[in-house]
Structure 1
Amino acid sequence: MERTKRIVIMTLLLAVSLFKLSAQYKHDFYNAYINSNMDAWKTLIDVLELKDDKSDALLLELINYQYGYIGFCIENDDKKQAKSYLKLAENNLERLEKSSFNPSSIHAYKSAFYGFSIGLNKLKAPFVGPKSVEEAKISMELNPLNPLGFIQYANAQFYMPAVFGGSKTEAVK
């Protein structure tokens, strides 16, 4: 009985400490975001990337932070950095996909990462663009309450040339 109590208490303490750790990361990322401090954002991503014992939930958070940083790099024409972090994010997404954690978000990020790869190399657009749209559609079907799938679908529609089926009108819907 005493041993069972100890195990339960240790498990609860571990869970609380992991929650606090995750909450601290969120707070630090939030501060980096509101202060437009992308150097701090990058450092936080690097610290999280080095953690060996990431839960699926923390891994999904990391992918989201990487998603934001990759977009920032592309926006600021830092293709080398964007490619590097895109590869890390794709590896994390692959790991998360194996655990079947939050499939709707996995497909939404796949859509986004296809879009990023087009942003890094426009010649990929005819081949990768349809994959991006398809992944966004799968995300929306799996969870109609997950806004990320809809955002990726809108991005694909907005940036895709009309000749290939893109529609700014459809993107706004």
Structure 2
Amino acid sequence: MERQKYITRFVIVISILLFSVQLGFSQSPYRDQIYKAYSRGKMDKWYELMHSCEKNVNSNSLEEQLELISYYYGYTAWLIGAEKYDTAEEYIDKSEKIIDKLLDESPENATLLAYKGAYIAFTIGISNFKAVYLGRRSMRYIDKSIELDPENIQGNIEKGNSMYYRPSVFGGDKTKAIKYYIKAVKSFEKQGLVVSNWMYINTMTALGQAYEATDQIQLAKLCYEKIIRIFPNFMWVEDELYPDMLKRNNL
């Protein structure tokens, strides 16, 4: 099974369906179907749902615009993983226009700041040579997000992604990435944002991969088994990551 069928590294990267209140999250008409599309690797279905959300989003609702941004985020990450860079750039542009407008209105919104840093990182993912001048800019937004709200889920996810994927010579540290992924996972669980939440399961998967990358194999095994137990039809872990890890480590 090709990994590009799933939301790949930059989603482990990726986004969160974090709304301003839990009630808004539970009432989203797209959440369950987006999760099902993600869990089965059906990005054509994701695309349909995303554009339905786009057509119906209330431009006066921060909550609904954050939801749309999260869908753009997941789709952009998949496009980059599939090397569909031209289309990815279109969604980066669409997303940043919304984010910049919202930041003008709410310059200290930690979730928006984290998204801003993430979308700059997407641009680096398309053109690595841009890391020289965009890398620090991305981190300024992410660090400010965590400074304003140390418990912010999106901020911790993006900090974890940065630590995981950045080369060690530029400050990357996979062990430190684990700390931020764990913090995000705990916040999801504390806030009750677990059921049918594609970003929760994606962050759990990132944590499992980080454990494996740092040779903490038993912790990786437990993490993947938790995912399979809670989300029994998540193909990426159940059919690929977990069995491959067992085979590599003779478990």
What is the TM-score when the length of structure 2 is the normalising length?
Answer: 0.56
Match of 1:46 among 38, 51, 57: 51
Question: Partner residue of 1:141?
Answer: 147
Aligned pairs for 1:5-154 within 5 A: 23-51=28-56, 53-54=58-59, 55-100=61-106, 103-154=109-160
Contact 1:129 1:156 survives alignment (8 Å) = no
The residue identity in structure 2 corresponding to 1:65 is Y
CA distance in 2, matches of 1:113, 1:147: 16
What is the TM-score when the length of structure 1 is the normalising length?
Answer: 0.79
CA distance in 2, matches of 1:130, 1:97: 19
What do the CA deviations read for 1:28-62 (whole angstroms, capped 9, x no partner)? Answer: 32232233211111122222223363311000011
1:156 maps to 2:169: no
Q: 1:63 offset after TM fit, Å?
A: 0.5
Question: Partner residue of 1:11?
Answer: none
Moved more, 44-53 or 120-129: 44-53
- Structure 2 residue runs of 5 or longer lacking an equivalent are 1-23, 180-251
CA distance in 2, matches of 1:163, 1:134: 18
Contact 2:57 2:64 survives alignment (8 Å) = no
CA distance in 1, matches of 2:84, 2:38: 19
Q: 1:169 offset after TM fit, Å?
A: 2.9
Larger RCO, structure (CA 8 Å, separation 6 or more): 2
CA distance in 1, matches of 2:108, 2:47: 25
CA distance in 2, matches of 1:47, 1:94: 22
Q: Please say which structure displays the higher CA radius of gyration.
A: 1
Q: 1:156 offset after TM fit, Å?
A: 1.4
Give identity over the alignment, percent: 35
The residue identity in structure 2 corresponding to 1:125 is A
The residue identity in structure 2 corresponding to 1:136 is I
- Structure 1 residue runs of 5 or longer lacking an equivalent are 1-18
What do the CA deviations read for 1:91-116 (whole angstroms, capped 9, x no partner)? Answer: 11122223318711011101111110
CA-based RMSD: 2.3
Q: 1:136 offset after TM fit, Å?
A: 1.2
Count of residue pairs brought into register by the alignment:
155
Q: 1:128 offset after TM fit, Å?
A: 0.7
Question: Partner residue of 1:15?
Answer: none
